[in-house]
Structure 1
Amino acid sequence: MSALRVALRLARRNAWRSRGRSVLIMVMIGLPVLVITGVFTLTETMSVSPREGLVTELGTADARLLQTPEGTVLQQEPNGTSWNTGGPAAPKLGTAEVAALLGPGARVIPFSTGEIRLGGERVDLMETDLRDPLTRGMLTLSEGRLPAGREVAVTPALGLRPGDLLRLPGAAPLTVVGVVEHPFQPSLREVVGLDLPLTPPDDFVSPTMYGTGWLADTAKPVSWSVIPTLNRAGLYVTSHATILTSPRAVIRLASMGVQETVGLGAMVIMVVLETVLLAGPAFAVGLKRRRRELAEIAAQGGSAGHLRTIVLTDGLVLGGAATLVATVLGIGAGTLGAQVVTRWGGQVGPAEVPWGPVLGVAALGLIAGIVAALVPAVQAARQDTATVLAGRAPATADRPGWPLAGAVLVLAGLGATVVARRQSGSAWVWAAAVLVMIGLVVLTPWLVRFTGRVATRLRLPLRVSVRDAVRHRSRTASAVAAVMAVTATVVAMGIGAQSEYMDRRNAYTSARPTGMLAIWGGTMADATWNKLRAVAARQLPGVPLAAGYQARDAQDHRYALRYTVRWNGARTRRTAAIGDRALLSLLQGRDDPRAAAALASGKAVVFDASAVRDGKLTLRASSTSGPARKLEVPAVAATPADEHQGGALLPRALVEQAGFTAAERQLYAMYRPPADSTLWRDLGKVTSRVTFATEEGYRNTPDPGLWGWLGGALVLVVGGTLTATRLAAADMRPERATMLAIGAPPGTLRMVVAGQALYISGLGALVGLVAGTVTGVALSRPMTTYGDGDPATIAIPWPFLIAVVVGLPVLATVAALITRTRLPLVRRLV
């Protein structure tokens, strides 16, 4: 029987005999594998490729054609789509003209899409006949029947049932006769019918935009040779044949940039390092228990290589089992998680597993298990057989060159961090952090010995704990380094995330104060606007309404008057409002006689003080259909209602002096519509060209995932600390037996064990705090800056750091304090 086969059998028997330790090791190794595999599977499952979504896009049709707005020059090619505006106007096509373009035997049905606001939320509209065979497969009927004229079907997310009435703005009430489901988007809010209030778009934004279109059944496949002709007619084409013949996108490592490769490498090193440091103490526990067994093997002729192989096979067996179980659970969690996540938004396709990355992660877990057993394997090969068989603890000695090497690595990492902080991405910062972390791991035995000098000043239980930790530095250093690595990573993520949140909060800006309602009218006749204004005044009784105006030239082209200013270090473009003193009072939240006098004298009132230079404000008047102009107007700076508010207000007289006319097309009020308000619906009945918005202020909250990191750190820090504490308790049995023999109470023995947990977790947390702070501060620059001149935002999440650096060591100590520590009889040599 080969030595490897014998070692595998011994590893299997040892894993089964120490089931608790084996499960702990498997959890430490398998947890990263499970999480990463789950994320890969979830991402792949939630990604619906064009081929997978072909039926929902086209049904059984050969092509879908979208009519682009007038003046759009469109060109589709296999390698992409390009378009621009300003070209010659293409004639509007009807169903018969589209069928003629597709050739003899083509059958075409209308298929148009759009969106509308319903109850303050966006709802998709699809205008087509779901009873036609060409639409089969797009949506699945789950209740009722498919709609005919003046009837609609809705998706489950709208909460309507067959028999309910649906009131869409700008349309008569429609009867809901069916509930349909989208195969890949369970949270989709959509209404489908034959007669819906669709508004043609003003501009061609993207190929997936809404608009008027058709589904076509053709005699021949719509290939790339036919598409240019359809493009010249103003039709964007989605073809069944071109999608099937297009090559599938494959992500290759070679296509990654240098920064992405560095970031991936840093992540791999950190995952392996964390896993090795966490599982290392547990393997050391196994080595402690097997020293006598290994010594007996050595006494019977086993070589140092045989002993190394036996311990390394522990890592192979446990790492392989952990990786296998974690991979299976990760695939299952990712598949089920995709179904759950899409209930709140997004899409989900058929269950898919990216086998390349998943197998790579599995190999990473297996390697981590073997590497975690490497140090115990070296120790097993070097142990003195006679010493172990005699029951004495093996002596340990420090390597004098290691502290110097660790210090060099730390200094090199700090220098790299300073350089990486100036780079555009965060991958270089993490790469430098890996260098610092490896240096600290190498320095940890020296730190343990150095901090052990304080033991003489401690009370007896803590003094015994610290001295034992120093005496068994190889065991203690691994646990301290594990806590340090986890703490440093979590602290760095916390500072980076908090800095990014504060930067976004500081960067938030608005042209209106919080709580202001804005109603804007687009291109419409004066009579329509007057009717819209009357409806708004009737729906808002007692609410003061301030008027705003549009700037138009002699050809009746609408113009926007804009200026550029720096806000929180970033260039921000603002549109100046046009109004009188009533609007000024709303924008300032009070009456400001100085600003009102300036407005009355024909000056602009600006809420961005930096935009006013030498008493002037520079504006750019731009239009989609007229030539741009540059204006320089007199201005004064004023204080807005909110600190995050900017913008400017121009008097009508100033706009008219610049050669424009001012037409009232805006209404403003300090009013928050209640949830059951019918204001949106009533205004939409007048015209579909009305838009409205309520300024809610900055609504984002700090990243809740930050506390998820705290939960992960809780598991890793407490688990790693208790594992090392258990090993310490096993090593300290003779000392505790002596203390018990001379009358030490059980509480003192528990304090000795808890002292080990406090020392390990406390030292690791303090060192991790320093390392994590350096990395977090460095991360804040690439995460919060967007170009030259933009200062970095550095924010410290103090509650989070206290919970990590103080709370976790205290929790680990309490867990060790209440853990039952049995003390069997110890054999003594006389």
Structure 2
Amino acid sequence: MSAVRAALRIARRNAWRSRGRSALIMVMIGLPVLVITAMLTLTETMNVTPQEGLAAELGAADARLVQVPAGTVLHQQPNGTGWTTGGDAAAPRLSAAEVVELLGPGARLIPFSTGVLRLGSERVDARETDLRDPVTRGMRTLREGRFPTAGEVAVTPAIGLRPGDLLRPSGAAPLTVVGVVEHPHRPSLREVVGPDLPLAPSDASWSVFEYGTGWLADTAKPVSWTDVPALNKAGLFVTSRTMITARVPAAPFDVRYAVGIGAMVIMVALETVLLAGPAFAVGLRRRRRELAEIAAQGGSAGHLRTIVLADGLVLGGAAALVATVLGIGAGALGAPFVARWGGQVGAAAVPWAPVLGVAALGLIAGVVAALVPAVQAARQDTATVLAGRAPAVADRPGWPLAGAVLVLAGLGATVVAWRQPGSAWVWASAVLVMIGLVVLTPWLVRHTGRLAARLRLPLRVSVRDAVRNQSRTASAVAAVIAVTATVVAVGISTYSEYMDRRNAYTSARPTGMLAIWGGPMGDAAWNKLRAEAARQLPGVPLAAGYHAKDAQGHRYALRYTMRWNGIRTRRTAAIGDQALLRLLQGRHDPPAAAALASGKAVVFDPAALRDGKLALRASSTSGPPRKLEVPAVLATPADQHQGGALLPRALVEQAGFSTAERQLYAMYRPPADSTIWRDLAKVSSRVTVASEEGYRNVPDPSLWGWLGGALVLVVGGTLAATRLAAADMRPERATMAAIGAPPGTLRVIVAGQALYISGLGALVGLAAGMVTGVALSRPTTTHGAGDPATTAIPWPFVIAVVAGLPVLATVAALITRTRLPLTGRPRA
């Protein structure tokens, strides 16, 4: 213990003496710990559990009941929900008294509906309820003014209105803003709350978790799962306090998840060790004489190893402690600010198990980073060091072979992992490749250093110095390799997933088509709805679509099955005439029009045709299913990603069905302030209006966030290594200054080190990242048997990483101060 205590004391004294180097090492070790700890704390704070969000969801009520649309068959399960739509008969709407009777004596209801309010060119969420009622206590926090009464509203701060302002919903009378309220967990929410709001029809955008009409219930006894079936049968979706607070069983152990977490931990630890390694290597060279003197006084090789390892323990421990505290503070304080950009936030929470694990990882990384210098210190020749000669660096011929074997093994494992579901095994294989490249890096540095003879003098000095100080350079190059490979792999995987979603997008209608569907209704009601649609769309050609019914009046949907991206997909075939075909194709297609006129189906999905036939299944919620096989032809749709099929009325009627017009289609984009949804809903509540907008997703913006993270690590690690190199090269730089080299040449020497380190690391990392990225593209873009993988390379992103980061690191090093300290000349 006395030797360990003495080593720790020496390490503490040395850390204080070399404060600049110590701070640099602590930053390299602590930066990953700080970032990960902050992200863990931020995520935990922004993860609002159902139990924590109970007040915002239900207030003080015991349950929320949502009425489902007509014809909906609803069945809730304890571990989720399931429902199907499409019934013929309209389920009766319950009154509040009937719902109270279902809930039992002592129950009390207040209206509660959620939907959308149109404000000119935008749509905002709206909640129709009385916030003054004690049942809604805790749902919204009053920040300014008072809660609204009839004809009044309260708005969230994101709306930007104050008490006294007017809110002007489209197609409705203005509402007076009397209060500003805030969601307990969602500060960025744009919402309007009031007891009577002109909401959009709920059946058109119904969702049990978002939009719907219903009540909040204050009951005499808790609403449990035993009460749910009866309420479902009555057409009520139930969310109760008892159901939310029920204990959720723990998820089973997932091997692939554990492997993925392990691979991430290894990569983070490896990156930390590689970033801090050069600083420990430089520190060892500066302390060689001190260690040699300890050895000359009787210190053993074990004592020297302990002293150097104590440096890693002291600096790694201090860095982990400081970074953990700062990370927890940054995550907890940053969550409310991040939530204002989107998301939700709860009470500050720290996931102590992973946070302490990350701190321990930082401590271990500090010790491991000092391991190689510790071994070198134990092997140094005491007489050589005390004589002032540089010790010879022995090459290890077996290491390149071991590195090559690890790389080949990792590539083989990547090929095997490429065929496995999930990405965890690919990342595990990438770790094996990365470790092999780290072992190979000294060999790469030695052999690429042979190019120095062909370079100009400043760059030649830079490269030769980098090769001469192999341990420092190899560690920095390996760190850049690890960062570049990880970022390139993530970039290819993310972009491939985006391209797969874009290519897999399909619609039954061309972009820009407006569809108006009438539910179960008589001819008189449909004629009235059709007339209103024609009035709302003056001068816009309308194409008719038809519903199919059997002799008993049961409504049927004619669907066909096909494989799309490896998944069995069911599509509903439309029923129409030449006008609808022209809209679906965007032009007049004589062969397709002739086929439709002759009684054949026109199909836009090539995979649905078999020997000129289309297999259909006629299904109904109230009638027996039927199977049909009809003649069909393939045609080209208006849009590239458009699918679907069109059946002529004659073909459907030959199959024993009757047809009735219940659909309208038009190539029309409603303006932002259009009220066609509300106007048609006034005629019939069973109308649905949909506008095909096409594929709307954009590439994941986090891709460039990865580039920002790579910028910090690559430029920071490279600058750290070049600063150490600049300090190490003082004799050479002093010699060049003495013979008249200008300051610009000295800066070029330092920048040459940065270019060599970052350039070599980026090129090797590009190769490793491409392999991993291509392997990751398969599990992230395949969705079933027969679905080919989509591999897409984001070339601007890859070029920015591989070429941009070395350029930035070089420019940053070029503007680094290179002034040498003045040294006094001894007097004669």
Q: TM-score, normalised by structure 2?
A: 0.89
Question: CA separation of 1:418/1:516 partners in 2, compared to 1, >3 Å: closer, same or farther?
Answer: same
- The superposition leaves residues 136-166 of structure 1 with CA deviations (integer Å, 9 ceiling, x where unpaired) of 2222333444344555544445555556666
1:20-419 matched pairs, under 5 angstroms: 20-64=20-64, 95-96=96-97, 99=100, 106-116=106-116, 118=118, 126-149=127-150, 151-158=152-159, 177-186=178-187, 187=189, 189-193=191-195, 210-218=212-220, 238-240=239-241, 246-247=246-247, 255-419=252-416
How many residues are paired up? 822
Compared with structure 1, are the counterparts of its residues 815 and 612 closer, same or farther at alpha carbon in structure 2 (3 Å cutoff)? same
Range with greater deviation from structure 2 (206-215 or 286-295): 206-215
- The more displaced of 712-721 and 555-564 is 555-564
Question: Could you say which residue in structure 1 is the equivalent of 2:755?
Answer: 758
Moved more, 90-99 or 370-379: 90-99
- Counterpart of 1:611 (choices 608, 612, 629) is 608
Q: Tell me, what secondary structure is at the counterpart of 2:336?
A: helix
| CA RMSD, Structure 1 to Structure 2 (Å) | 3.6
1:170·1:197 contact (CA, 8 Å) conserved in 2?
A: no
In structure 2, the residue matched to 1:711 is 708
For 2:463, the equivalent position in structure 1 comes to 466
Please say if 1:587 is aligned against 2:588: no
CA contact 1:462–1:751 (8 Å) conserved in 2 = yes
Whichever residue aligns with residue 193 of structure 1, its letter is P
Identity of matched residues, %: 78
Instruction: Tell me if the contact between 1:169 and 1:682 (Cα under 8 Å) persists in the aligned partners.
Output: no
Alignment match, 1:556: 553
- Provide the C-alpha distance between the structure 1 equivalents of 2:538 and 2:291, rounded to a whole number of angstroms: 89
Q: Is the 8 A contact 2:171 2:675 kept in 1?
A: no
Name which of structure 1's ranges 611-620 and 366-375 shifts more when overlaid on structure 2: 611-620
Change (3 A) 1:478 1:73: closer
CA change 1:114–1:628 in 2 (3 A) is: farther
1:534 aligned counterpart, secondary structure: helix
The answer for the alignment partner of 1:437 in structure 2 is 434
Shift of 1:420: 0.3
Q: How far apart, CA to CA, are the structure 2 residues paired with 1:797 and 1:785?
A: 19
Give the distance between the partners of 1:507 and 1:590, measured in 2 at CA: 24
Q: By how many angstroms is 1:654 displaced?
A: 2.1
Task: Report the secondary structure of 2:545's partner residue.
Answer: strand
Shift of 1:275: 0.8
CA spacing shift, 1:100–1:568, aligned 2, 3 Å? closer
State the one-letter code of the partner of 1:366: L
Secondary structure class of the residue paired with 2:340: helix
Which residue is 1:820 aligned to? Answer: 817
| Contact map agreement 2:22 2:315 (CA 8 A) in 1 | yes
CA contact (8 A) 1:37 1:327 kept: yes
Q: Structure 1 810/509 Cα, relative in aligned 2: closer, same or farther at 3 Å?
A: same
SS at structure 1 position matched to 2:534: helix
List gaps (5 residues or longer) in structure 2: none
Work out whether residues 37 and 358 of structure 1, in 8 Å CA contact, stay in contact via their aligned partners in 2: yes
8 Å Cα contact 1:758/1:813 also seen in 2: yes
Is contact 1:757-1:816 (8 Å) kept? yes
SS at 1:562 equivalent: strand
Secondary structure in 2 aligned to 1:118? strand
2: CA distance between counterparts of 1:81 and 1:193?
29
Is contact 2:135-2:216 (8 Å) kept? no
Which string of whole-angstrom CA distances, capped at 9 and with x for unpartnered residues, describes residues 177-223 of structure 1? 544332223315353415776968699986888453441242x5566
CA contact (8 A) 1:757 1:813 kept: yes
Which residue of 772, 777, 794 maps to 2:774?
777
**Counterparts in 2 of 1:351-750, with a 5 A limit?**
351-750=348-747
SS of match in other structure, 2:509 = coil
Partner deviation per Cα, 1:619-639 (whole Å, 9 max, x = no partner): 222223332222222222111
Instruction: Write the letter of the residue equivalent to 2:695.
Output: Y
2:785 is matched with 788
Q: Does the 8 Å CA contact 1:578/1:651 hold for their aligned counterparts? A: yes
Q: Distance in 1 between matches of 2:590 and 2:152?
A: 57
The answer (yes or no) to whether the contact 1:169–1:684 under 8 Å persists in 2 is no
Measure, in 2, the Cα distance between the counterparts of 1:329 and 1:478: 27
8 Å contact from structure 2 (residues 115, 210) kept in 1: no
AA matched with 1:713: A
One-letter amino acid matched to 1:182: H
| Structure 1 residue 767: Cα displacement | 1.4
In structure 2, the residue corresponding to 1:625 is in which secondary structure?
A: coil
Paired with 1:772 and 1:503, the residues of 2 have a C-alpha distance of 20
Question: C-alpha distance in 2, partners of 1:226/1:557?
Answer: 32
- Give me the whole-angstrom Cα distance separating, in 1, the residues matched to 2:377 and 2:459: 30
CA contact (8 A) 1:111 1:215 kept: no
The separation in 2 between residues aligned to 1:674 and 1:662, in whole angstroms, is: 32
Deviates more, 1:480-489 or 1:267-276: 480-489
Q: Secondary structure at the match of 2:287?
A: helix
Classify the secondary structure of the residue corresponding to 1:636.
strand
Name which of structure 1's ranges 326-335 and 800-809 shifts more when overlaid on structure 2. Answer: 326-335
Shift in CA distance, 394/728, structure 1 to aligned 2, threshold 3 Å: farther
Q: 1:519 to 1:166 in 2, by over 3 A?
A: farther
Residues of 1 paired with 2:614 and 2:238: CA distance?
A: 46
2: CA distance, partners of 1:567 / 1:80: 26
Deviation at 1:827, TM superposition (A): 11
Using the TM superposition, give the Cα deviation of residue 235 of structure 1 relative to its aligned residue in structure 2, in angstroms.
6.4
Structure 2 vs 1, CA of residues 512 and 19 (structure 1 numbering), >3 Å: closer, same or farther?
A: farther
- Say which SS state the counterpart of residue 212 (structure 1) adopts: strand
Distance (whole Å) between structure 1 residues aligned to residue 651 and residue 171 of structure 2: 37
Task: Indicate the SS of the match to 1:285.
Answer: helix
Secondary structure, aligned partner of 2:787: coil
Three-state SS of the structure 2 residue aligned to 1:620 is strand
Letter in 2 for 1:135: T
Quote the Cα distance in structure 1 between the aligned partners of 2:696 and 2:538: 28
Match of 1:59, as an amino acid? G
- Aligned with 2:571: secondary structure? strand
1:409, distance to aligned residue in structure 2 (A): 1.0
Contact 1:143 1:180 in 2 (8 A): yes
**C-alpha offsets along residues 681-738 of structure 1, whole Å, 9 cap, x if unaligned?**
4333333433323322222222222222222222222222222223333333333444
Measured at CA, do residues 200 and 684 of structure 1 come closer, stay the same or move farther in structure 2, by a change above 3 Å?
closer
Change (3 A) 1:605 1:24: same
The TM-score, its normalising length taken from structure 1, stands at 0.89
Aligned pair in 2 of structure 1 residues 552, 828: CA closer, same or farther (>3 Å)?
farther
Deviation readout 1:36-56 (Å, 9 max, x if unpaired): 222222222222223322333
